[in-house]
Amino acid sequence: MPVDPEFAGRAAALLAALGWFGLAELQFVVPADGIPRLIDLNGRFYGSLALAVAAGANLPATWAALATGRANGPVEAVEPVTAVAGVRYCWWEGDLRRALRERRGGMARDLAGTLYAGVGAVHSITRLGDPVPALTQARRLLAEHRGARAE
């Protein structure tokens, strides 16, 4: 989504007032009055960071270059990077957890729909070339589900 320049400026002013240097994810909610409200500030690498990287904004590399003095000039001189629109992110772990609990339309149908929605999307830990993190998370999720059913 395009970011409103005034809104981005206010977010940058907040981070500057905090003396923040480094990656941060700010999450906002926009209530009926249309005024965005900050609800979370993650000052660390965050799960959906893969979306920014896949969309062309390699934020970890930019931050590392700045932090190690390898950038061309100070923070203010670094060229802004704009991610391309249309890249999708899927949080399979959370979506599957929801599917196991809510079962919209039956468990098999909901799980299949959840898995299908992630095809072609960017994921935080799911990679075909490195399936171990996703399989480990899936095993934890199933154990959690079995434990909840037993209660």
Please state, in angstroms and rounded to a whole number, the distance separating the CA atoms of residues 40 and 28.
7
Radius of gyration in angstroms for the set of CA atoms belonging to the chain, rounded to a whole number:
19
* Strands of 20-94, DSSP E: 25-29, 37-42, 89-90
Task: Work out the pLDDT band at 141, boundaries 50, 70, 90.
Answer: confident
pLDDT at 110 over 90: no
pLDDT at 72 over 70: no
pLDDT at 1 over 70: no
8 vs 104, more confident: 8
Task: Provide, rounded to the nearest whole percent, the portion of the chain with pLDDT above 90.
Answer: 11
Read off the pTM. 0.65
